[in-house]
Structure 1
Amino acid sequence: MAPELLIIDSFAGGGGASTGIERALGRSPNVAINHNRAALAMHAANHPETIHLDSNIWDVSPQTVCQGRRVGLLWASPDCKHFSKAKGGKPLDRNIRDLAWVVVRWAEEAQPDVIILENVEEFRTWGPVYEDGAIIPQLKGQTFDEWVKRLRRAGYKVEWRELRACDYGAPTIRRRLFVIARRDRKPIVWPRPTHGPADDVDVIAGRKRPWRTAADIIDFSLPCPSIFDTSAQIKEKYGLRAIRPLADNTLRRIARGVQRYVIDDRQPFFVTAAQHGGSVRSGFSPIHTITASPKDQNQVVIPTLIQTGYGEREGQSPRVLDLHKPLGTIVASGSKHALVAAFLAQHNNDSRRIGGVNPGRSAREPLSTLTARGTQQAVVVSHLLNMKGSERQAKDIRAPVPTICASATHAALVSAFMVKYYGTAVGQPLREPLHTVTVEDRQAVVTVTIDDTNYFIADIGMRMLTEREKFLAQGFGSDYVIDCQVDGRPLTTTEQGSCVGNSVAPDLAEALVAANCGHLARAREAAE
């Protein structure tokens, strides 16, 4: 029997592309190449059958790696940060931008049957830069065109498209450019999207599945400390390190999220929570039955997301995201997704309506793209506490609110906080609301009425997404090993964040490889 055709994952990182390849073909790549020891350690922990080469990609000889064997698939994900718009106007490193020429080297020396490259959309604009690293506008795209010509001269048919991970089953909107080149005379196949937004005609007809959402990957049982507590108080209550006070831009985004997804959202996304965690409920479903049992804390959480670490451009609304949608791009350093919770307790006074604006994205949609920086996005959750079941709490709204997140009532601080950032919104009517919101002047609380039950915003909490949540958002399985060791020590959360931010969404890799390389599947070869 002829030996298996080789599968090579260059720029392998933490293993996103390799995971997709394994899902599609039932086999991991034969060889993974990466210069980052932490990423290679994570890859090895999840793909132990693969040969791992800890090396600069330019120092790896295709002939030495292949040893005369034919290559069925070369996957390449060269560093994208010196193409990405996320880098802004910072100088570009010519050496990093030129990494994609490695693909041409493999095409000319090893002649893989299929080559799949993944990069940011701006890769199409690859062109020369000045000595100071600035782009030469008149030459945008020139190097990309030359790169494609070299592949075609090597015998390849070349096509490219931009694809979104959420359209193929990942709960992130991450959009990337994919280039497919093949020389085996078989057609290049672009897989059809399998998922779509809830209002997509194909989703309604059952031909596609609905997008997976940000809410799918968030663990609502984790503590979400109050934004009004100090770092010392949070450490004492939860044993967690948290930055307090928060930056003004972060607070502005939190207020924006509360306004959008608590005050203005006519069909809020609920999470109910008792002592032992929480369960997600659609905003289209009634709130659960309120009981007097101490085991049922009668909490209703309306979640949303914010992005931290970015400054808004002039005229731009604060960055708040919607848990009803896929998450955005995960970054490779730090943590940019934060969960914010506005805690609402029942309040039975009459209320006046107020209105507001509609920023951000819904929890019913995929997350925004997670990037390698990982310091820009936060989750915002509106937490409602129904107090009918507690006579003591009903009489004294200043009593502590039992909750899995913020642990005290800061109703007056919430009112001042919302007035500071959205004072002009108070008193404006909502259009055909399913719930109403008021600021109760006498007791200085912000109240919300949902399904004829009154609540007041008792507190607002915020936490960053965990590394596990970020991996789930990218499309990795819950069993993917991220807490492995490198050089005898555990991977830090920063290293884990870098691995996920730089990773390929496994769902997209699986779709592309299954569509173009099914003949490389191990089970099929064994059967033949």
Structure 2
Amino acid sequence: MSFLPHELIVDNFAGGGGTSTGLEQAFGRPVDIAINHDPKALAMHRINHPETKHYCESVWDIDPIEVTGNQPVGLVWLSPDCKHFSKAKGGKPLDKKIRGLAWVGLRWAAKTRPRVIMLENVVEFQTWGPLRRGKPVKSKVGQTYRKWLKQLTELGYEVETKTLRACNFGAPTIRERFFLIARRDGLKIQWPDMTHADPVLIDAKNGKLKPWRTAAECIDWSIECPSIFNRSRPLKPATMTRIAKGLDKFVINSENPFIVPLTPKADSESDLVAPVMTECANASSPRSMPADSPLRTICAQVKGGHHAIIVSYLSKLRNNCIGQGVDEPLHTITSSGGHFAEVRAFLIAYYGNEKDGNSLTEPLRTIPTRDRFGLVTVNHQQYQITDIGFRMLQPVELFKAQGFPDSYVYDRGIDDHGNEIRLTKTEQNRMVGNSVSPYMSRALVEANFKHELAYRGAA
């Protein structure tokens, strides 16, 4: 059953369509109006939401009364640009115009009187205040936010705010965001119940809540992960140090390193050369097989017949971050999108008669050569690192981590002339980094609109 059949749903700052995807899943019908100034973002939105009316304009150039035709509005969603609030912004001067985009919400509230307004932004949005020479005035932190909030309540809205994490509602990303819900129809504001939790918590252990989904399920293990050694363009020393520290934490000194079987595809001749599956049982001449060899023939060996396995972690290429394990949700994706890399440690079984490379009694600070340098114990079996792979996460993996459905189209779009266009990886990364997780918009809408059925006697 669809909701709001006689009221409009408006997605301001619509971007590539994360919010709209969640709204459509919750309402059971398309979003009516989507507004965004970026033609590439709206092209992605258009190909995925063809029944929506699209406006590729600045939100300030839109007349709410004109685009709605004075029809009743049930929901206006706002996700104004957050980069001039985010703590990831850095030391660059802040832009008053971008910081002031939330004022458009009051314009919609005054002109169209939507029953419900929802806003999503970074937690630091609540610090919105005056600037001096491009820097926040410390004595006036939050002053503009409080003024904006006061004007919204003066327009007749009850307002509540909360900070929520997408991983608690089913998305495999920790993305933490500030949410605001405003209603003027007298109905109670509802906040969605958590569906997932940290696996170590009691409610996750006893089954009351599902455990967090992880970054591992978003990674396409068939994508080649090139060795960090002998590259035509060597990795920077800082990156190598980050990889070394990450391996030390998530692989060598981890009590329970995450592992997945190496099961590459063999769709072309190039797939046959790498990776190679290696049998390392107690045999005088361990066998290596091309990637298209059936995996079951290796595992069927009586004495174990270990094949190569991968121990992976993710590295966020910022500051001194050494990454994260893949058995936890992906950290927040930013609009640049290219900050996440996957590191694989390729292992073979170790029986104590191979020569060690680097000393295991010293901290792993750098990775100067391909020499073997680390031992990993998995299920009481020792493995030795023989190679390390490194690659950036691809858009397909980032969109999955953000909670987009597998069917979502992100590599192309439809322009305002109806022509299909291709989107570069940089553009795709920008869309996903700027997006709202569909899980969040869906959860908020279901919590605040489904109870209207009971209120109206329809359930």
With normalisation by structure 1, the TM-score equals 0.74
Is 1:338 aligned to 2:276, yes or no? no
Question: 2: CA distance between counterparts of 1:445 and 1:129?
Answer: 52
Would the alpha carbon gap of residues 34 and 520 (structure 1) be closer, same or farther in structure 2, given more than 3 Å must change?
A: farther
Amino acid at match of 1:122: E
1:5, 1:520 within 8 Å by CA — same for their partners in 2?
Answer: no
String of CA shifts for 1:269-321, please: whole Å, max 9, x gaps: 111123538xxxxxxxxxx997979423611111111111x223xxxxx4211
Is 1:425 aligned to 2:434, yes or no? no
13, 16, 24: which one aligns with 1:14: 16
Q: Which residue of 2 aligns with 1:329?
A: 332
Amino acid at match of 2:347: L
Q: Which residue of 1 aligns with 2:263?
A: 274
432, 447, 453: which one aligns with 2:381: 453
Question: 1: CA distance between counterparts of 2:123 and 2:316?
Answer: 21
Q: Which residue of 2 aligns with 1:280?
A: none
Question: 2: CA distance between counterparts of 1:186 and 1:6?
Answer: 18
Amino acid at match of 2:390: M
Question: 1: CA distance between counterparts of 2:380 and 2:109?
Answer: 66
Q: Which residue of 2 aligns with 1:348?
A: 351
Is 1:122 aligned to 2:124, yes or no? yes
Q: Which residue of 2 aligns with 1:391?
A: none
Question: 2: CA distance between counterparts of 1:338 and 1:444?
Answer: 22
Amino acid at match of 1:470: L
2:250, 2:324 within 8 Å by CA — same for their partners in 1?
Answer: no
Would the alpha carbon gap of residues 452 and 204 (structure 1) be closer, same or farther in structure 2, given more than 3 Å must change?
A: closer
| RMSD (Å) for aligned C-alpha atoms | 2.6
1:75, 1:115 within 8 Å by CA — same for their partners in 2?
Answer: yes
Q: Which residue of 2 aligns with 1:301?
A: 310
Is 1:24 aligned to 2:26, yes or no? yes
Offset of residue 334 of structure 1: 4.5
Offset of residue 448 of structure 1: 3.4
Question: 1: CA distance between counterparts of 2:445 and 2:337?
Answer: 31
Offset of residue 331 of structure 1: 1.4
Q: Which residue of 2 aligns with 1:163?
A: 164
Is 1:86 aligned to 2:24, yes or no? no
Amino acid at match of 1:424: E
Offset of residue 4 of structure 1: 1.5
1:9, 1:76 within 8 Å by CA — same for their partners in 2?
Answer: yes
Instruction: Give the match's secondary structure for 2:427.
Output: helix
Question: 2: CA distance between counterparts of 1:149 and 1:223?
Answer: 54
Q: Which residue of 2 aligns with 1:503?
A: 435
Q: Which residue of 2 aligns with 1:482?
A: 410
Gap regions ≥5 residues in structure 1: 232-243, 278-287, 313-317, 351-396, 398-410, 427-442
Would the alpha carbon gap of residues 289 and 166 (structure 1) be closer, same or farther in structure 2, given more than 3 Å must change?
A: farther
2:280, 2:287 within 8 Å by CA — same for their partners in 1?
Answer: no
Would the alpha carbon gap of residues 109 and 345 (structure 1) be closer, same or farther in structure 2, given more than 3 Å must change?
A: same
Is 1:200 aligned to 2:201, yes or no? yes
Question: 2: CA distance between counterparts of 1:289 and 1:16?
Answer: 46
Is 1:137 aligned to 2:69, yes or no? no
Instruction: Give the match's secondary structure for 1:304.
Output: strand
Amino acid at match of 1:149: K
String of CA shifts for 1:408-430, please: whole Å, max 9, x gaps: xxx98xx45xx6xx87338xxxx
Q: Which residue of 1 aligns with 2:51?
A: 49
2:161, 2:179 within 8 Å by CA — same for their partners in 1?
Answer: yes
Would the alpha carbon gap of residues 274 and 68 (structure 1) be closer, same or farther in structure 2, given more than 3 Å must change?
A: closer
2:337, 2:432 within 8 Å by CA — same for their partners in 1?
Answer: no
Question: 2: CA distance between counterparts of 1:349 and 1:138?
Answer: 64
String of CA shifts for 1:333-358, please: whole Å, max 9, x gaps: 241110111111223226xxxxxxxx
Question: 2: CA distance between counterparts of 1:224 and 1:334?
Answer: 18
1:37, 1:486 within 8 Å by CA — same for their partners in 2?
Answer: no
Amino acid at match of 2:206: A
435, 445, 452: which one aligns with 1:513: 445
1:73, 1:517 within 8 Å by CA — same for their partners in 2?
Answer: no
String of CA shifts for 1:80-109, please: whole Å, max 9, x gaps: 000111112211000000000000011111
Instruction: Give the match's secondary structure for 1:335.
Output: coil
The number of residues matched between the two structures is 414
Q: Which residue of 1 aligns with 2:60?
A: 58
Amino acid at match of 1:200: L
Offset of residue 322 of structure 1: 1.4
Would the alpha carbon gap of residues 52 and 88 (structure 1) be closer, same or farther in structure 2, given more than 3 Å must change?
A: same
Offset of residue 67 of structure 1: 1.1
Question: 2: CA distance between counterparts of 1:449 and 1:13?
Answer: 45
1:230, 1:245 within 8 Å by CA — same for their partners in 2?
Answer: yes
1:347, 1:456 within 8 Å by CA — same for their partners in 2?
Answer: yes
Question: 2: CA distance between counterparts of 1:461 and 1:183?
Answer: 55
Question: 2: CA distance between counterparts of 1:65 and 1:134?
Answer: 36
Alignment of 1:277-288 (within 5 A): none
With normalisation by structure 2, the TM-score equals 0.85
2:243, 2:322 within 8 Å by CA — same for their partners in 1?
Answer: no
Would the alpha carbon gap of residues 454 and 519 (structure 1) be closer, same or farther in structure 2, given more than 3 Å must change?
A: closer
Alignment of 1:220-239 (within 5 A): 220-231=221-232
String of CA shifts for 1:25-72, please: whole Å, max 9, x gaps: 111210000000011011111111100001010000011011121000
Q: Which residue of 2 aligns with 1:369?
A: none
Q: Which residue of 2 aligns with 1:260?
A: 249
494, 497, 502: which one aligns with 2:426: 494
Identity of aligned residues (%): 47
Is 1:245 aligned to 2:240, yes or no? no
Q: Which residue of 1 aligns with 2:272?
A: none
Instruction: Give the match's secondary structure for 2:328.
Output: coil
String of CA shifts for 1:251-283, please: whole Å, max 9, x gaps: 111101211122111111111123538xxxxxx
Q: Which residue of 2 aligns with 1:366?
A: none
Instruction: Give the match's secondary structure for 2:100.
Output: helix
1:218, 1:469 within 8 Å by CA — same for their partners in 2?
Answer: yes
Question: 2: CA distance between counterparts of 1:152 and 1:145?
Answer: 11
464, 474, 482: which one aligns with 2:392: 464
Question: 1: CA distance between counterparts of 2:287 and 2:231?
Answer: 32
Question: 1: CA distance between counterparts of 2:426 and 2:17?
Answer: 17
